[in-house]
Amino acid sequence: MNDINGLITIVTGGAQGIGAGIAEVFAKKGARVALFDIKQDLLSNQRDKMVQKGFEAMAVKCDVTQKGEVTAAVASVAERWGGIDVLVNNAGANRDMGFLKMLEKDWDDIINVNLRSQFLCCQAVLPHMLAKGFGRIVNISSRAMKGNRGQANYAAAKGGVISLTKSLAIEFAHRRITVNAICPGLIETPLFHRTPEKLKEALITTIPVGRIGQPEEIGNAAAFFASRDAGYITGQFFFVCGGRSL
């Protein structure tokens, strides 16, 4: 399983955190990886780290909430490497607060980054996958899709990701394109590092396996869905959360 050698892969939000972990796993398994991110310095640093390890990687600065930028970024990857095989929709953000304090901008910004971006990226890559007669789309949702206090905007967006995943899976299954989703739990990222220590300790007690997950563990799950061997799996989602979804 996990045969992704040579597959041309886009990872959005690939400059750090879960996205960087996914990119590293794919590259180690032989994929050619294009990193999309809005943060140029972090993006370039991550690309350079991968190239220094002997991986085939490129960096494309892109605001994945803007259709024109997404279209141009995808086209640049296809032009360089001859198509697109895999899209990992990882870009995301949160802005937690009580629902009655939430402004329209707080709602719109989080929906745009977490859900609109996936819509735009899927639309941009699907013609390339259809031309090849092969494709793998892996959408990153979240355990928060189950609902969570103070995360109405984020939970709604991540729930929308699941519905988008299932709808696209149905529409494109007959064209050898699969669409699946991953719901991470608590993962060691720059965002988690900023969490107060007492809260970190409290959160860890809610995880049955007793530890925080690593970005590479999300990467391994994504590589499974993206593999050539996973052609009979589509429209599915699973939690990578140490049992916290139970």
Which amino acids are annotated catalytic? 154
| E-state strands within the chain | 8-12, 32-37, 57-61, 86-89, 135-140, 177-184, 237-240
Residue in 113, 38, 128, 120 with CA at minimum distance from that of residue 80: 128
**In this structure, what token pair is assigned to residue 128?**
């390339």
* Sequence-distant (≥ 6) Cβ neighbours of residue 27 within 8 angstroms: 33, 50, 53, 55, 56, 57
The CA-based dihedral angle spanning residues 228, 229, 235, 236, taken in that order and rounded to the nearest 10 degrees: -130
Cα torsion 141, 145, 150, 153: sign: positive
Q: What span, in angstroms and rounded, lies between the C-alpha atoms of 39 and 58? A: 14
Q: Which residue has the tokens 């360089």?
A: 80
